């Protein structure tokens, strides 16, 4: 009975150690509009893709039981490699520190009424269902 108990404890320790050694959450942003592109006309479609990978391991459903006839343990391990995004905050402006323009659940937005011969900077901040924010790089385009 002690052997099973120590085996279960060792398993919990190994999983917790592995979770602490894995890298932190990583977000990768891709733009459908090439950075620095020239835009002709008064509007542009901004599009992006975001991949967020988390490396956290969560121990759940821990059920350790002992009996005189049948000793054993049951441990469930749930991993969360992908994080669900629920909204995107779109930042837009004519300075390298753009301000909030809109929030959307889509991964694309149409920007109208752009001024000619201007450099516009934009950034996406993804928000997951737990309210965590993942900031993308600041991109820019130039209107002609």
Domains of the chain: 2-143 (2.60.40.10)
Q: What is the pLDDT of residue 53?
A: 76
Whose tokens are 């620095």? That residue is 36
What would you report as the CA-atom Rg of the chain, rounded to the nearest whole angstrom? 24
Average pLDDT in the 129-138 region?
92
For residues 82 and 39, which has the higher predicted lDDT (pLDDT)? 39
Q: Give per-residue pLDDT as tens, 53-81.
A: 765 555 555 555 544 455 555 555 554 45
């Amino acid at each position: 009975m002690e052997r099973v108990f120590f085996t279960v404890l060792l398993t919990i320790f190994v999983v917790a150690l592995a979770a602490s050694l894995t890298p932190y959450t990583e977000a990768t942003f891709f733009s459908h509009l090439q950075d620095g592109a020239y835009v002709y006309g008064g509007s542009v479609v901004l599009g992006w893709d975001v991949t967020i990978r988390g490396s956290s391991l969560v121990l759940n459903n821990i059920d350790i039981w002992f009996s005189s006839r049948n000793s054993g343990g049951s441990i469930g391990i749930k991993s969360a490699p992908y994080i669900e995004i629920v909204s995107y905050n779109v930042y837009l402006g004519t300075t390298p520190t753009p301000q909030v323009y809109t929030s959307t659940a889509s991964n694309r937005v149409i920007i109208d009424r752009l001024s000619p011969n201007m450099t516009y900077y934009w950034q996406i901040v993804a928000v997951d269902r737990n309210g965590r924010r993942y900031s993308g790089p600041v991109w820019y385009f130039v209107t002609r």
